[in-house]
Amino acid sequence: MRPKRKRRLYLVALLLVGVGGAAALALTAFEQNLRYFITPTEIVDGKAPKDRAFRTGGLVKPGTVKRAEDGVTVGFTVTDNVNDTRIAYKGILPDLFREGQGIVANGRMRADGVFVANEVLAKHDENYMPPEVAQSLKQAGAMPEHEMGRKQGNKL
Amino acid sequence: MWVWFHKLGSPRYFWGFSQKLMPWLIMACCLAFLIGLPWALVFSPADYQQGETVRIMYIHVPAAMMSMMIYVVMASAGAVNLIWRIKLAELVAAASAPIGASFTLLALITGSLWGKPMWGTWWAWDARLTSELILLFLYLGFIALYNAIEDRRSAGRAAAILALVGVVNIPIIHYSVEWWFTLHQGPTTQGMRVGGSIDPSMRYPLFTMMIAFNLFYVMTLIKRTRTLVLQQERNSGWVREMVGSR
């Protein structure tokens, strides 16, 4: 390679390394803000903001969903398979909301430790299959776990 | 191999070579869509949780994949243009940008259409969605910058530098769902390796659609590049000769 081209090649490589390094530093600095939600375990560890709204999420614990008389007020527990958070919500739940399904709730912590949500979103996992396959996997007890239950502690 | 690359870099050789390649590409692309579209949108099974909504995936996933792949092609062509000053590379980058922007927009729109019934919201500011939106702005920035500068050569170089700076966004999009908690689900397939689980009855139509999208990109890229080559070489001997002989 001619020296001129070599120099340009180094400049391009330097540009990529520089921008990459800057981006890595910025992303590490803003790590907390880049996460869409925090887990029940982090709430237990006291990492949840006390005086402002935030999002939490986890799997809806089977057997914990309680509907009030009015039909739109609902209480349920989410879990990250380590700790649980009780959530109270008044409104329409997304179609995918069901026991064992991952959800993300936006709201704030009440003094008694119940998370009062004003928005509940369903978090789909990365498994796709036809109903018949799901049926037979369920019978065999080999249903793949929702990513929210599995990925504990694997994140940055 | 290197000789062939150098030859391909010459606009005149590229013109002849792409002319011969074109009919085959069009045929392969049509065939892939003819198989992929009915397979994905009609014959593949509904999902156990999403029902028929899962069919959006067959457009969304390939579109999102192309949006990132085309950006890498564009940035690489930009780098080749910066280092070796090959004119054709500049044209390949310029021709790629609008195609990539379209795929990005398609991924964002189909994702939004899927998000409303499944998540319960059209849009969430999570890491995956936000970084994909930034990708769209990078494409638009590239197009704007390339067209804003009068002199073609400096326009190509300035836009190439922008493309190279933006390439840092690609790994961020790709790994966003693994690095941070996002609303967007994690990766299911990466190439042929399967991370989550997708039933074969859904995986194969998805792969067919990915192949079809790839062929569509290569086809449109070559078409657009040919137009740009003709425009750029309009005063050269071989173009005058060709136009004159018709």
Select the residue of A31, A133, A147 nearest B199 (Cβ to Cβ).
Answer: A133
Instruction: Measure the CA–CA gap between A115 and A106, rounded to whole angstroms.
Output: 9
Q: Is the pLDDT of residue A90 over 60?
A: yes
Q: Contact, B242 vs B234, CB < 8 A?
A: no
User: Chain A residues with CB inside 8 Å of B120's CB?
Assistant: 93-96, 119-122
| Domain locations along chain A | 1-34, 40-151
Confidence of residue B194 (pLDDT cuts 50, 70, 90): very low
User: Chain B residues with CB inside 8 Å of A36's CB?
Assistant: 124-127, 180-183
Contact of B4 with chain A, judged by CB distance below 8 Å, is answered with: no
pTM, full prediction: 0.90
Task: Kindly state the helix (H) or strand (E) to which residue B78 belongs, with its residue range.
Answer: helix B57-84
Contact of B24 with chain A, judged by CB distance below 8 Å, is answered with: no
Task: Kindly state the helix (H) or strand (E) to which residue B227 belongs, with its residue range.
Answer: helix B200-232
Contact of B82 with chain A, judged by CB distance below 8 Å, is answered with: yes
Verify whether the Cβ–Cβ distance A147 to B161 is below 8 Å. Answer: no
Chain B interface mutation, best of A35, A128, A132, highest count of B Cβ atoms under 10 Å: A128
Asked if residue B14 is part of any domain, the answer here is no
Domain with residue B82: its CATH number is 1.20.120
User: Chain B residues with CB inside 8 Å of A131's CB?
Assistant: 45-48
Contact of B188 with chain A, judged by CB distance below 8 Å, is answered with: yes
pLDDT digit string (tens) for B91-118?
999 999 999 999 999 999 999 999 999 9
Confidence of residue B36 (pLDDT cuts 50, 70, 90): very high
Select the residue of A57, A94, A147 nearest B185 (Cβ to Cβ).
Answer: A147
Asked if residue B71 is part of any domain, the answer here is yes
Asked if residue B195 is part of any domain, the answer here is no
Structural domain for B119, as ranges: 23-187+201-235
Percent of the residues in chain B that have a pLDDT greater than 90, as a whole number: 72
Lowest mean pLDDT across A109-113, B17-21, B189-193: B189-193
Instruction: Measure the CA–CA gap between A64 and A76, rounded to whole angstroms.
Output: 5
Count of structural domains within chain B: 1
**A121/chain B closest Cα distance in angstroms:** 5
Q: Contact, A121 vs B114, CB < 8 A?
A: no
Q: Is the pLDDT of residue A127 over 70?
A: yes
User: Chain B residues with CB inside 8 Å of A15's CB?
Assistant: 161, 164-165
Select the residue of B127, B196, B199 nearest A126 (Cβ to Cβ).
Answer: B196
pLDDT digit string (tens) for A2-15?
788 889 999 999 99
Class of domain A40-151: mainly beta
Verify whether the Cβ–Cβ distance A130 to B199 is below 8 Å. Answer: yes
DSSP assignment of B16-74, as one string? HHHHHHHHHHHHHHHHHHHHHHHIIIIISPPBTTTBGGGGGHHHHHHHHHHHHHHHHHH
Strands (E), B147-218: 189-190, 193-194, 197-198
User: Chain A residues with CB inside 8 Å of B167's CB?
Assistant: 16, 19
| Residue range B42-55: mean pLDDT, rounded | 91
Note the pLDDT of residue A71.
79
Q: Contact, A118 vs B121, CB < 8 A?
A: no
